[in-house]
Structures are given as C-alpha cells and as structure tokens.
C-alpha cells in the first residue's frame, strides 16, 4: 500500500506530494518548498522517516511546483522527469520568477521524459502517466488504478479547473483533457490536486461548474 504525505508550501499554497512504499522508498512529486523553513521541513521529514528518495517528478513546470527541484535533485542524487512539452516552461521559469519578484534556484534540466501511457512501478503497484495538457503544454497526471488515486497537478480542482491564461495554456484543451482523460476514470478515484483540498472524479462530474454539462 502506498502512503501519501502532503505538504503545502510557498506563497502560492502549492501541494507537494511524497509517495512512500513499504520499503520506505519515496517518490517526490512537485517539490514546491521555497522558504528555508519549508526546505528544512521536507528534508527533516525524509530523514526522520528513513526514506530513500528514488524519483523526482513534475506534473508541470510552473515555478510554484519546481522551487525545490534543485534541492531534491542535489540532496538525493535523482534526476528530474517531466513531459517534453513542458521543457519550455521549465526553461523560462527563472524569468517568470523575476517578473513576480520571486527569485529561486533554477531547476536542473530533465534527465528523462515522461510520455503518455508510461508505467512507473512502485511498491508492487503502478502509476500510469496520463497526458493532460491545457493548464500548461506538457501537464501530466499520475494515476494509480490499484489504489484509486490521481495526482493531477493544476488540471482539476475541487469545484474548479486550472487557469489557462498563462503562456502555453489553452482552455479548450484543458476541458478536453478533463473530459477525455480524467472523467473516464472510476467515480471513486481520489483526486489530489496541486492546490486546495482533495476531491473525487465522481464529485467533479456532478458538481464542477466548469464542467456541469458533462
């Protein structure tokens, strides 16, 4: 069984997720730790729990999801994995940070690329990579069918959806991603978003005002 540990970090209140298996191996998804106390909190938790960090994944590369990429990569010797279509977002993130007056250590470049349908084996279960663009050109979601959860980045929120007014965003593409890639999952799938509280696929089908015609 996968244990999921959530941290909410940085001025954008971004959700960082640690997936932990029975061998105490750990996948870090979207490390958003920005302030020094946040960085210490993440490192201390990993040390205290005796975790071995095995992978570093980004759902997408907007700056609030990548503040801790370099920290994790350097500390634990893991390479960054993203979808290739979001590399341009990663490259431009330092100038976006400067525009918002939020300076940070630039993320390392990816060591590998995630593709639609990739399977990530972890603790006897698999995470499937689902390509869900629209919020950003290369957004991906991570779906665990065996344990009925989805880590979806900024694609689908509790009664909301990701913004599409940033460079590379597209509203129609985002809605198509949700309808065609996420709403085909079982209704009891738990959605763990990049911001805000968890929800389920079934609840969003019934109550999300941006998709209420579905």
Number of domains in the chain: 1
Decide if 90 is inside a domain: yes
CB 152 within 8 A of CB 58: no
Decide if 55 is inside a domain: yes
Q: Report the alpha-carbon distance of residue 188 to residue 86 in Å, rounded.
A: 29
CATH number at residue 124: 3.60.15.10
Decide if 159 is inside a domain: yes
Decide if 212 is inside a domain: no
Question: Considering just the CA atoms, what is the radius of gyration of the chain in Å?
Answer: 16
Q: Report the alpha-carbon distance of residue 143 to residue 149 in Å, rounded.
A: 6
Average pLDDT over residues 21-47: 98
Average pLDDT over residues 102-115: 95
Is this structure's pTM higher than 0.85?
Answer: yes
Q: What is the DSSP string of 6-48?
A: EEEETTTTEEEEEEE-TT-EEEEE-----SHHHHHHHHHHHHH
Q: Report the alpha-carbon distance of residue 160 to residue 209 in Å, rounded.
A: 7
Model confidence over 144-193: pLDDT tens digits?
A: 999 999 999 999 999 999 999 999 999 999 999 999 999 999 999 999 99
Decide if 214 is inside a domain: no
Identify the band that residue 214 occupies on the pLDDT scale cut at 50, 70 and 90. very low
Identify the band that residue 42 occupies on the pLDDT scale cut at 50, 70 and 90. very high
Decide if 213 is inside a domain: no
Contacts of residue 135, Cβ cutoff 8 Å, sequence gap at least 6: 60, 153, 154, 155, 161, 162, 163, 164, 166, 169, 174
Predicted local distance difference test score (pLDDT) of residue 213: 58
Q: Look at phi and psi of residue 175 and say left if phi exceeds 0, alpha if psi is from -120 to 50, else beta.
A: alpha
Residue keyed to tokens 């920290």: 71
Decide if 81 is inside a domain: yes
Domain carrying residue 146: 3-207
H or E stretch covering 196: none
Q: Report the alpha-carbon distance of residue 55 to residue 17 in Å, rounded.
A: 12
Average pLDDT over residues 109-129: 97
């Amino acid at each position: 069984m996968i244990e999921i540990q959530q941290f909410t970090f940085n001025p954008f209140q971004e959700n960082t997720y640690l997936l932990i298996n029975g061998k105490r191996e750990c996948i870090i998804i979207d490390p958003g730790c920005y302030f020094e106390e946040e960085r210490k909190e993440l490192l201390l938790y990993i040390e205290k729990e005796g975790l071995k960090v095995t992978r570093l994944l980004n759902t997408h590369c907007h700056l609030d999801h990548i503040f801790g990429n370099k920290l994790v990569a350097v500390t634990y010797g893991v390479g960054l994995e993203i979808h290739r279509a979001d590399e341009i977002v990663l490259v431009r993130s330092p100038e976006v940070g400067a525009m918002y007056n939020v300076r940070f250590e630039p993320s390392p470049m990816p060591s590998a690329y995630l593709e639609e349908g990739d399977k990530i084996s972890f603790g006897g279960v698999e995470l499937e990579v689902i390509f869900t663009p629209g919020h950003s050109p290369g957004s991906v979601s991570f779906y665990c069918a065996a344990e009925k959860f989805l880590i979806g980045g900024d694609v689908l929120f509790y009664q909301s959806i990701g913004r599409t007014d940033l460079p590379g965003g597209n509203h129609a593409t985002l809605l198509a991603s949700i309808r065609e890639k996420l709403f085909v999952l079982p209704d009891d799938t738990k959605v763990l978003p990049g911001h805000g509280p968890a929800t389920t696929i079934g609840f969003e089908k019934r109550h999300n005002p941006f998709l209420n015609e579905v």
